[in-house]
């Protein structure tokens, strides 16, 4: 670790694991700011279903990449990498440390490691895959991805059509699996990186997810989704918590079934997040059941930060 370089501190983990609170407490201790690495909290129109930090939490510490974009704007992981690195360059002029919080492993990897050059999208292939999905549903594309790129299939949110189609179009255009481009050979960053992740028993995590979905519904998630029906064709809304309620509003499922599907799909998503993060050998895992969690996070960071 370079003692003269600034440090990016990543607080990662699955959805509903308590990353927001942990990141805020750490940022306050370090008197610094938070950069979000949550691929859904970028979007202004989506709040309840993305479990954004509350107004009080946003006021407690300056946050970046929260409400920064519209669902109508294309915003890829490559866009995020470019914008976030530029932002960090600016933030590190005033801060020796910056906290990054989020559960989107691909976005964290983009900033901390980067990727090999991923081929540009082929509009003809993408149009054909979108047509196939419209006719046959996403399941057929999921199965194809599982066959041609099992490594990426285990990591990606397969309920996100944009991610599935992107991986398949790269494979069809190049003959190489999408996962082959995620190696980040030779990329370096002008800052130190410390990665922490929050862990808890699977049953505890799933219970937290189920209760949070119930709370989202109590807080008005259905009304939020109803207001977004006119945007439902945008990729940002092809996501857990929104897609299921669009199906309810279209009369395809009952409300109870839609809520249960949100819980099930969120649990599956959390499982994939854990699979992704456990592959990263640089991550230090912390047990959230520890009553001294905050103190342990702060002590771990204080121990690992460069001394000068």
Binding site: which residues?
A: 13-20
Alpha carbon 32 to chain centroid distance? 22
Q: Which residues of 265-302 are buried (b: 16+ CB within 10 A; e: fewer)?
A: bbbebbebbbebbeebeebeebebeeeebeeebbebbe
Pairing type for strands 192-199 and 63-64 reads unpaired
Binding residue ranges for ATP: 13-20
C-alpha–C-alpha distance, residues 144 and 164, integer Å: 9
Nearest to 198 by CA among 297, 65, 64, 98: 297
Binding residue ranges for substrate: 15-20
Q: Record the tokens describing residue 5, joined without a space.
A: 């370089």
Residue 228 burial (C-beta neighbours within 10 Å; 0-12, 13-18, 19+) = buried
């Amino acid at each position: 670790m370079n003692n003269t370089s600034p440090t990016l501190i990543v607080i990662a983990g699955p959805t509903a694991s308590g990353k927001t609170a942990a990141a805020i407490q750490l940022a306050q201790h370090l008197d610094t700011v938070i950069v979000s690495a949550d691929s859904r909290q970028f979007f202004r129109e989506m709040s309840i279903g993305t479990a954004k930090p509350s107004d009080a939490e946003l006021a407690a510490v300056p946050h970046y990449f929260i409400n920064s974009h519209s669902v109508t704007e294309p915003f890829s992981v490559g866009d995020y990498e470019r914008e976030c690195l530029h932002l960090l360059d600016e933030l590190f002029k005033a801060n020796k440390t910056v906290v990054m919080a989020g559960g989107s492993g691909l976005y964290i990897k983009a900033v901390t490691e980067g990727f090999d050059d991923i081929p540009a999208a082929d509009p003809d292939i993408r149009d054909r895959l979108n047509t196939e999905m419209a006719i046959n549903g996403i399941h057929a594309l999921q199965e194809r991805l599982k066959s041609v790129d099992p490594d990426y299939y285990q990591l990606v949110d397969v309920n996100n059509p944009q991610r599935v189609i992107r991986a398949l179009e790269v494979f069809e255009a190049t003959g190489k699996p999408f996962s082959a481009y995620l190696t980040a050979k030779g990329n370096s960053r002008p800052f130190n990186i410390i990665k922490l992740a929050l862990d808890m028993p699977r049953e505890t995590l799933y219970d937290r997810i189920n209760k949070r979905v119930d709370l989202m519904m109590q807080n008005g998630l259905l009304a939020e989704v109803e207001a977004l029906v006119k945007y439902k064709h945008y990729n940002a809304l092809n996501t857990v918590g929104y897609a299921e309620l669009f199906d309810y509003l279209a009369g395809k499922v009952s409300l109870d079934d839609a809520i249960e599907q949100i819980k099930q799909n969120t649990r599956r998503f959390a499982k994939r997040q854990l699979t992704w993060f456990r592959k990263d050998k640089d991550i230090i895992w912390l047990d959230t059941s520890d009553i001294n969690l905050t103190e342990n996070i702060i002590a771990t960071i204080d121990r690992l930060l460069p001394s000068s």
